[in-house]
């Protein structure tokens, strides 16, 4: 059975029906003369309220919709931590919390300075207005794109107390996505979700309106891509995938291009399985080297996240848009043009990483979760074996940057959270600090706590980064083409040169929008 194959051909084959993949498939298939096949390993989300109802998103962690990647043992980090990655049409935009940020202009200009020509703010921000239908008024925003963005209504009194307390320690109240990067400030997020509470994933926003309507677009779900097919002239010709019923493999051919959109962990894995990656590592697994590309699987960038967890003295809210409605940004040193510290406020108990160490918990609590927005530690994604079914080895190497920058920012974050908690009106909401707990005060005690219990904001990126053509560690050129192979591109979080200092989902959508124009040559 396993050798039975069928063959079919499209102009474009897109491997990975996630955040970038769905947006790209929708844009490319706008031209009725072009055929597109989008291939996703997970199921469809059409009509599935488990996925679409945003307030339920936390149920999706560690569920059947989650690839749920373990990480390698960490020298200075939490080895129990797991990387949630959605396995469903829409990818992580189908199971994330839909916090919606414009990419900071300064971060895009930094990408350009790192060699990603054409990716500066001047060239990229127009794509955000193209994709959004923002309820914030004015010309700055798009109002007719597929993705609804709106301000979260301020309905959580404890959340309001967080914002008011933050203002007392130098974080003024702000609205996000209003044209300037917030360096120091706190406010209610914008979310990409409709007023009906349904998420505006790229599947829901871009694909649902056209699925079954465009004869030139085929969406295949339940199809796990095992390899990119590359011919002897080093041109990508299609992909091979495992059939949904596991009876064998099919191939699908691309007349024009294959675009890999499998995300920051699976894109480098798929490139390496297809012979594109660090030569010695590929040989170690018996894979024929097609392109020795040392940057594949390097440069793993993430937002590492700590926790200050409180038992509330009053009843917390029982309904919410998505339970993580407020953000706080700060600079911990002078002279930055982007914040180096962010915190989320969660109106829920969050004991996922503390319970195993004996920290107390509650069913009526809230938390402030500082994260390092411009971390300097970098990790790797490597193959466990040549079998596509084996999970990649994900080694984020948290807190290993040589100058201790990431630890310093995290310590500043824990201390800033505590200062905010001491201010009225938030102080009145607190019965006690559950974690790290009042006894942990010195750098040493707090670092020990952080190393054991940190989480991630789930933003891995940079593992097949774009950069200058002559940069040997850049896997992609600035047009997202895989160097050393023709007719092959990547667009997803792996292509980022560096993770922006905000939640990056809208940035990934923006990249897909620009990729569509690069492919169409407009």
Ligand X SMILES: Cc1cc2nc3c(=O)[nH]c(=O)nc-3n(C[C@H](O)[C@H](O)[C@H](O)COP(=O)(O)OP(=O)(O)OC[C@H]3O[C@@H](n4cnc5c(N)ncnc54)[C@H](O)[C@@H]3O)c2cc1C
Query: Which residues here bind ligand X, judged by CB under 6 A?
Result: 15-21, 39-42, 84-87, 91-93, 95-99, 224-225, 261-264, 266, 270, 458-459, 492-493, 503-506, 508
Nearer to ligand X, 190 or 412 (CB): 190
Phi, psi of 368 (to 5 degrees): -120, 130
List C-alpha distances in Å: 440 to 80, 244, 449. Answer: 22, 51, 8
Of the pair 84, 200, the CB lying nearest ligand X is at 84
- Only one residue has tokens 């750098």, namely 443
Contact assessment for residue 295 and residue 164, using Cβ atoms and an 8 Å cutoff? no
CB of 87 to ligand X, least distance (A): 4
Q: Are the C-beta atoms of 342 and 502 separated by less than 8 Å?
A: yes
| Cα torsion angle, 104, 109, 114, 119, sign | positive
Helices (H), 423-493: 443-453
Residue 64 C-beta: closest distance to ligand X, Å: 12
Q: Which of 204, 208, 451, 459 is catalytic?
A: 459
Report the nearest approach of ligand X to the CB of residue 21 (Å): 6
d(CA 32, CA 214): 8
Is residue 181 within 8 Å of 106, Cβ to Cβ? yes
For ligand X, the closer CB: 40 or 110:
40
In the complex, the smallest distance separating the C-beta of residue 479 from ligand X, rounded to whole angstroms, is 18
CB of 176 to ligand X, least distance (A): 12
Residue nearer to ligand X on the CB measure, 435 or 499: 499
Tokens of 338: 């982007």
Question: By three-state DSSP, how is residue 432 classified?
Answer: strand
Closest distance to ligand X from the beta carbon of 508 (Å): 4
Shortest Cβ distance from residue 364 to ligand X (Å)?
A: 23
Q: Which is nearer to ligand X, 368 or 506 (CB)?
A: 506
Output 83 or 412, the one with its CB closest to ligand X: 83
N-to-C CA span, the chain: 44
Give the residue with the Cβ less far from ligand X, 308 or 392: 392
Helices vs. strands in the chain: H and E counts, helices first: 11, 24
147-151/326-330 β-pairing: unpaired
DSSP code string of 234-254: SBEEEEEEE-TTSS-EEEEEE
36-39 and 217-220 strand pairing: parallel
Query: b or e along 60-84 (b: 16 or more beta carbons within 10 Å of the residue's beta carbon)?
Result: beeeebbbbbebeebebbbeebbbb
Any catalytic annotation for residue 141?
Answer: no
Residue sitting closest to ligand X (CB): 18
Please give the positions annotated as active site.
459
């Amino acid at each position: 059975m396993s050798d039975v194959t069928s063959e079919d051909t499209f102009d474009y084959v897109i491997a990975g029906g996630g955040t970038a993949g769905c947006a790209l498939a929708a844009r490319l298939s706008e031209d009725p003369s072009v055929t597109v096949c989008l291939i996703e390993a997970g199921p469809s989300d059409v009509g599935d309220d488990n996925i679409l109802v945003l307030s339920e998103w936390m149920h999706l962690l560690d569920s059947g919709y989650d690839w749920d990647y373990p990480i390698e043992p960490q020298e200075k980090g939490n080895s129990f931590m797991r990387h949630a990655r959605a396995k469903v049409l829409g990818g992580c935009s189908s199971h994330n919390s839909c916090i919606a940020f414009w990419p900071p202009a300064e971060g895009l200009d930094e990408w350009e300075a790192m060699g990603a020509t054409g990716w500066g703010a001047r060239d990229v921000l127009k794509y955000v207005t193209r994709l959004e239908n923002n309820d914030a008024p004015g010309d700055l925003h798009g109002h007719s794109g597929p993705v609804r963005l709106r301000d979260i209504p301020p309905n959580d009194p404890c959340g309001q107390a967080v914002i008011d307390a933050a203002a007392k320690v130098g974080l003024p109240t702000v609205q996000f996505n209003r044209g300037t990067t917030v360096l120091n400030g706190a406010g209610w997020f914008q979310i990409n979700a409709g007023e009906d509470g349904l998420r505006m994933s790229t599947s829901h926003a871009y694909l649902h309106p056209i699925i079954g309507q465009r004869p030139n677009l085929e969406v295949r779900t339940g199809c796990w891509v095992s390899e990119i097919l590359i011919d002897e002239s080093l041109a990508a010709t299609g992909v091979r995938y495992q059939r949904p019923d596991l009876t064998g493999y099919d191939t699908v051919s691309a007349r024009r291009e294959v675009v890999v959109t499998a995300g920051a962990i699976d894109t480098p894995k798929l490139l390496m399985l297809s012979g594109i990656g660090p030569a010695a590592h590929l040989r170690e697994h018996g894979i024929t080297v097609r392109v020795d590309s040392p940057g594949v699987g390097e440069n793993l960038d993430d937002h590492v996240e700590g926790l200050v967890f409180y038992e509330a003295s009053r009843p917390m809210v029982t309904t919410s848009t998505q339970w993580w409605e407020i953000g706080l940004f700060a600079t911990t040193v002078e002279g930055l043009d982007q914040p180096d510290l962010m915190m989320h406020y969660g109106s829920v108990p969050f004991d996922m990483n503390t319970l195993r160490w004996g920290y107390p918990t509650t069913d009526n609590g809230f938390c402030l979760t500082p994260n390092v927005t411009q971390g300097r530690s970098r990790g790797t994604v490597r193959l466990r074996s040549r079998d596509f079914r084996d999970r990649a080895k994900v080694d984020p190497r948290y807190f290993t940057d040589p100058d201790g920058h990431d630890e310093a920012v995290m310590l500043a974050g824990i201390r800033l959270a505590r200062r905010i908690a001491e201010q009225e009106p938030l102080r009145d909401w607190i019965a006690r600090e559950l974690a790290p707990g009042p006894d942990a005060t010195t750098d040493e005690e707090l670092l020990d706590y952080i190393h054991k219990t940190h989480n991630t904001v789930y933003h891995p990126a940079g593992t097949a980064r774009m950069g200058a053509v002559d940069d040997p560690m850049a896997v992609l050129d600035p047009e997202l083409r895989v160097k050393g192979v023709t007719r092959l591109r990547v667009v997803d979080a792996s292509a980022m040169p560096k993770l922006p200092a905000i939640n990056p989902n809208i940035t990934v959508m923006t990249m897909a929008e620009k990729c569509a124009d690069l492919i169409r040559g407009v």
